[in-house]
Amino acid sequence: MTARVWRNSLSVIIGRAQLARLETDLAYCAKKRIPVVRRFTAGGAVYNGPGNINWSLFIPAWFDNNNGLAFERDPRGVFRLASSVVVRALRNCGVESRFDPPNRIVNEVGKACGMAAYVSNSGLLCHGTLLSSADLEEVARVTTPVREVAEKKYVRSNPMKVANTWVTYEIFRLEIKAVLEESGGCRFEASQPSSEELEMAK
């Protein structure tokens, strides 16, 4: 099992089946030199940058234990599984939140985390963007879809009110590690992406 927690520079990340010009203001992004990047998982456009924490969880298909953390093939189960880890970690940080199906984590103010996933015979990957202390006006500015009917059917983002959690990167990283170690019955060691992982990401 592999977990990653990291921060990105300011950027807009769109889903694999989205059309960029429908999901963000490309002129604004060009003016501000904000990269617009396509990921290989599905879902809507998300903000990356200051005040945002990225996390990902990979569970190989053979992994299973008695504490509830195991490989899931059903995407709905994947989101339930990953959100349970993040919600517990946030609670340990003093922040109450809950899973809002199909793929969101919300607090009393709004959406704090969106998730996307990929499942294969090798395992599952689930990742999310957690708002910690972001400029919410900027988040809305770069992730509000345009009101335009496309000539083809593309996956469209579902805008909703967003909210910060006010957790720090350092504390969240420690708490999600603790939850995963307890749930997964294993120990995590800090490391950077391997050369093989970096090559595959190109």
pLDDT tens for 105-123 read 999 999 999 999 999 999 9
pLDDT of residue 74: 94
What 8-state DSSP symbol labels residue 146?
P
| pLDDT value at 195 more than 80 | yes
* CA–CA–CA angle 141, 144, 149 (5° rounding): 140
Mean pLDDT (the chain, rounded): 93
Note if the pTM is more than 0.85. yes
Of residues 31 and 188, the one with the higher pLDDT is 31
Return d(Cα 104, Cα 153) in angstroms, integer: 23
Phi-psi region of 102 (alpha: psi -120 to 50; beta: other; left: phi over 0): alpha
Q: Which domains does the chain have, with CATH numbers?
A: 2-200 (3.30.930.10)
By the 8 A CB rule, do 180 and 69 touch? yes
